[in-house]
Amino acid sequence: MSAVLELVEVHKVYPGTPPVESLRGVTFTVDSGELVAVAGPSGSGKTTLLNLAAGLDRPSSGSVRITGHPVETLDDRQLSGVRAHRLGVVFQQFVLLERLSATENVATGLIYRGVPAAERRQAARAALDRVGLGHRENFPAAHLSGGERQRVAIARALVGRPAVVLADEPTGNLDSVAGQGVVALLHELNADGVTIVVITHDERIAGAMRRRVELRDGVVVHDSGRAS
């Protein structure tokens, strides 16, 4: 297996009086093919870790490597390229364009790759089929249920076939039935070879993943271990 995400002695300090150290020497590796939960209560550093893993921020010290590319050494243009080609991100709030169809929303995941429009739509339809939503491809996002909207968001993260998908509280805005459906989908996608890291405070969701990394006060206090 190859590492798709590595954090090595990562510290993140936000200025203030006094400064806030959100992460304090975090080290762990995610290998290709894993299904990992990064869990912890509010204030544990999960959001900071997500921003660093997604290349949206840089560490104060230490190294964050996305498929071997150290975030801290890349300029903005290089980092944007890594995000566009190596990462898929699923947001808790879905972040869909309400008036666009499911297909059009998913196709936006390929815009920054310079893929022609016809190819974007074809890939988007295939991604929607993959998450079991092909029959809703022409429905505007505003007309979809919460569970369907999250599946569209997952399809958008998958459409570029990224090395790793980061899912931020993917069931946080769903009822229990829709949430269980999303967890089952994540397992199905992982079984099909998709590497997934779920950021969550929900003990049930964390317990449903194959590996669990637990944060407390900016440090890793438990790691069930890398997949064999």
pLDDT digit string, tens, across residues 98-116? 999 999 999 999 988 888 9
Percent of the chain's residues with pLDDT above 90 = 86
- pTM (predicted TM-score): 0.93
Distances (CA, A) of 17 to 13, 14, 146: 12, 10, 41
Cβ-based burial of 141 (10 A; exposed 0-12, middle 13-18, buried ≥19): buried
> What domains are there in the chain, each with its CATH number?
3-185+195-223 (3.40.50.300)
pLDDT band at 172 (very low <50, low <70, confident <90, very high): confident
Instruction: With a cut of 80, say whether residue 1 has pLDDT above it.
Output: no
